Amino acid sequence: DAKTTQPTSMDCAEGRAANLPCNHSTISGNEYVYWYRQIHSQGPQYIIHGLKNNETNEMASLIITEDRKSSTLILPHATLRDTAVYYCIVRVVGGTGFQKLVFGTGTRLLVSP
Amino acid sequence: EAQVTQNPRYLITVTGKKLTVTCSQNMNHEYMSWYRQDPGLGLRQIYYSMNVEVTDKGDVPEGYKVSRKEKRNFPLILESPSPNQTSLYFCASSLQAMGPQHFGDGTRLSIL
């Protein structure tokens, strides 16, 4: 399984862009990068995922390097409600193809006024 | 509103007393899964299901059972709970094998 490495914590000022990095140097060619976040002890929330091209949705943008060994999640205008733990996950396939999510320790993002 | 609903949200019980945590989704998803979350260990998969009557073990299935008799429901059963099953449990569902997973709000179990 491809392992991911993220900083333990990051700070961001409200209204500024939050750029959360993730290293996944052993990623395989057909593995996707997923981002989820967890606010306090609520259920994890899906943010975005991608394979090799950059992706954008209403929540965030995902930038994947050309060699796919790292990626960055960008929250363009962070708000206080974006304070959460952010998990970068490389798709792990269970024995029959089901996407098993393996969450590491993630990055604790604190957005301050 | 599309959602995954877990019940109960909180439960304190004693060792050996059978309990069931229910999970229901209203999105007609085929894939469902149970996870437990413990400090320092992240989220670990207990069991998953790819469709009605199709289930398989995740990484930490010992002490748990599941069933999938209907598409919308995926209960987690602890036949004889023990203190090491004290944890925060999440149910999730997804439309496709590789699709985003939608999580419930969690069930906090304390086994004394």
Q: Greater confidence, A41 or A108?
A: A108
**Contact predicate A44/A34, CB 8 Å:** no
Residue B78: count other Cβ atoms within 10 Å of its Cβ.
20
Q: What is the mean pLDDT of chain A?
A: 89
- Report the alpha-carbon distance of residue A18 to residue A7 in Å, rounded: 13
Give the pLDDT score at A46: 94
Q: Which B positions 42-101 lie with beta carbon below 8 A of chain A? A: 42-45, 48, 50, 56, 58-59, 88, 90, 92, 94, 97-101
**Contact predicate B52/B71, CB 8 Å:** yes
Give the pLDDT score at A5: 93
Q: What residues in chain B have per-residue pLDDT under 70? A: none
Mean of pLDDT values over A79-106: 79
- Report the alpha-carbon distance of residue A59 to residue A86 in Å, rounded: 13
Give the pLDDT score at A93: 57
Q: Do A43 and B88 touch (CB under 8 A)?
A: no
CA of A35: which chain B residue's CA is closest?
Answer: B100
Give the pLDDT score at A31: 83
